[in-house]
Structure 1
């Protein structure tokens, strides 16, 4: 573990890398009381590890929101507009409730995706806070799209830098929402509960496939949930290249798998990761999380 002295009382922050390519656990931090020096260390860890875990945090919704607002302005996740998938907390509507209790089933994101890439300005940062978590299931997996890009050949990198991807909501594209799905129909009627989402995000959005992160590195910015095709390519051509990239991204050497514990706060960088919620829990395995999304950003091309 790397020790960084940053807290006002001189207790060290311990940064524990969780895998070689992705993820770090930060010890010695109380997210309710973070000084400027500590925040700099947190932000450095976030840019270096992309998924950061703060264990044993005792946070009210307001405290959760206040901490995450240091990354940028909080946003209402568009999924909340589709009704009954997530609920804004009465204490603070910037924090959403995700719960699998009967009558209020939260989203089971059992597919690789990056949050809300179908917007002109997607969100950079998402967080989840464990309120009630099952003992041995309902993990979340992240993969480093930065590392996937880093490991490509120079020729493939050069090709991808010149390409753009067309993003649309998974709700418009159908339940599976994968690149090249024949079921995609932008005129098709969708679930009435999702009318608000349909009205706001009906149009396709184009983003570069290779994004230059504010920290200076290049990373892939595609995901199988919201990318419909490569701009100027057919569905079949798009599916071949994107499917190959997604298969590489799913390899374990690019992944970090988090086993949830109560009071875990996990924040991740949507600009360089995808994530996957493992759907291996039942109704009796109660899972309650609080979520924030925010820090809208422009997707900058690498060239």
Structure 2
């Protein structure tokens, strides 16, 4: 049942976290960040600011409300969000998502109306789509990791696997990488990655965008080729276009060892995934050093909220 009196809980929580996060964001010159993530069980939202727009994702759950009542609850919640975040209602975009959506599900197009904008991060520009997909095109939680890649990219060959919209590739280009190869199964996202390159004044023709099933592509990689590899796979994927079913817990040793074989001695692999119960099978990985950098790569707006692992693996 929708209890309007509970809206005060949402307002109080948003006022508190927004005040704190907005200060930090301004100090760090960050204009796109997460404000709220399922903080109160009665309001299962993820709320993100993209400059002057707000992106709200409602997590799927058994709420016991009839459709009309749910609409009333959602509209009332959005009024509170608009008020606290000082945003016009027409600049709020809402999506409903399954809590355990696989990345392949997230990629399905949701609507025919489209709202695209250019968002900015660390002096770089990215196309963001607030209306058509379950994800916007920019994973905000990897802001720090992207910066690490940029800082190490000068004069390096970089491979970006499961590249999505190529934000790591843009950072690598900005850092002065001499060669960047971006690989994904989706032509839509590869084209988006090329657009992101253009937005930042880079000629996409100077870089490689490869349409391939990453699991098969790994077998075509030459040995000792890349200085930096970014590997951010989905937890599970059984896309019709993939030859094999991917399970990151089961498959990560095989994938990492193939990736490390394609990495130069002393080269770095940044490996992350979102599987809550993930355990890295360190002993089976052909690396000279493995560092868990999860804590260092969680941004201020994802503290205590983010379930993902991140490792810096040296060949």
TM over 0.5: no
TM-score of the superposition, structure 1-length normalised?
Answer: 0.31
Q: Could you say which structure has the greater relative contact order, defined with CA pairs below 8 angstroms and 6 or more residues apart?
A: 1
Give the number of the structure whose residues are more often helix, by fraction.
2
TM-score of the superposition, structure 2-length normalised?
Answer: 0.30
Work out which of the two has the higher radius of gyration on C-alpha atoms and give 1 or 2: 2
